[in-house]
Amino acid sequence: MFDRKQFLKTSIAGLLPLGFTGFTSPKIYSGKKPVVISTWRTAVNANKSAWSVLTKGGYALDAVEEGVKVEEANPDNSTVGYGGRPDRDGRVTLDACVMDETGNCGSVACLENIMHPVSVARKIMTDSPHAMLVGPGAKQFALSQGFKEQDLLTPESKAAWEKWLESGNYSPPTINIENHDTIGMLALDSQGRISGACTTSGAAWKMHGRVGDSPIIGSGLFIDPMIGGAVATGLGEEVIKTAGSHLVVEMMRAGHSPNEACKIAVERIIERDPKNKEGVQVAYIALNTDGAYGGYSIRKGFDSVVTDPDGMRTEQVGYLY
Ligand code: SD4
């Protein structure tokens, strides 16, 4: 049988050496809609919340915001929002961003004492002339928009920090399911609109002011309205150095499936510095505007949660080591 999508992909691949960067239109909605996919198996409740928006015919951007807010408010999640581990000075600093189906984005970094940085990021997108605000300026903006200040350092986080202070050694952690569940989420709604969100407290015991990949558009999250989107999790410094999520989306533009595109992006991290074989974890998930999705990680241990009309499931992704 003639497979139109395969034909387009093969044709595009053949044309790439000629400088042709791929068809961007028309979109072919052959996948299942709506669909939401998020990083790490811990994100079940977040997916449920996003799905409750999507299943009523709601907007993908509302779905991802509502979804990741569940983890921002969860004191048991030590890598996102309330309960997130602090930096080496005992301060909880949060990074988040959103991107919508038109390629609009908002981002916030190093935000303190505000429970829902993802909502601040969305407000930056919709109610400010900017794409990104950081630190005290971001907080000032959040307060002006009615967000309330609150202490995000839970007794458990404080105790963990005090224990860490006994050694005070920082070495980039091997982020994996045992110690990390930063949430990145992508959704395609029933009208075919794609959006993404990413939110984290970043690396525990980081230097004050450290910003990871999660709020950096093109690193922790990227959406191309005509192609699809990708989000990252893992050691942010390595994602930033390879502009990871943008790379994934560009690989999908070049005709690769979401799985292949994510694999190319994790391989790039090893190609850039082969020492990253030794302990670094980075994972990407991707969703295209057809509703096809995939993921790939450097090492074993990463999985994603997917919900579509067939139900919710945890899916292992491929890995290099
Ligand atoms: C960061 N990428 O700040 C984030 C951390 C992360 O699961 O994803 N943890 O580097």
Query: DSSP for 86-107?
Result: --TTS---EEEEEE-TTS-EEE
Residue owning the nearest CA to atom 10 of ligand 1: 236
67 by DSSP, 3-state: which? helix
* φ, ψ of residue 172 in degrees (nearest 5): -50, 125
Q: From the CB of 233, is ligand 1 less than 6 Å away?
A: yes
pTM, to two decimals? 0.89
pLDDT at 29 over 50: no
pLDDT of residue 252: 98
Q: Is the CB of 182 under 6 A from ligand 1?
A: yes
Q: What is the pLDDT of residue 172?
A: 63
pLDDT digits 0-9 by tens, 177-231: 555 678 999 999 999 999 999 999 999 999 999 999 999 999 999 999 999 999 9
Q: What angle do CA 107, 269, 133 make, to 5 degrees?
A: 10
Secondary structure (3-state) at 307: strand
Answer whether residue 18 is part of any domain: no
Q: Give the mean pLDDT of 161-166.
A: 95
User: pLDDT exceeding 90 applies to what percent of the chain?
Assistant: 81
Query: Residue 81 is which amino acid?
Result: G
Cα–ligand 1 centroid distance for 213 (angstroms): 7
Residues marked as catalytic: 182
Average pLDDT, the chain: 89
- CATH of residue 261's domain is 3.60.20.30
Q: Residue 286 pLDDT more than 50?
A: yes
Q: Is 213 in the pocket of ligand 1 (CB under 6 A)?
A: yes
Residue 106, pLDDT score: 98
- State yes or no: cis peptide before 26, omega within 30 of 0: yes
Q: Which domain holds residue 106?
A: 27-319
User: How many structural domains does the chain have?
Assistant: 1
Q: How far is the CA of 3 from the centre of ligand 1 (A)?
A: 39
Residue 20, pLDDT above cutoff 60:
no
Which pLDDT value is given to residue 2? 34
Does residue 6 lie within any of the structural domains? no
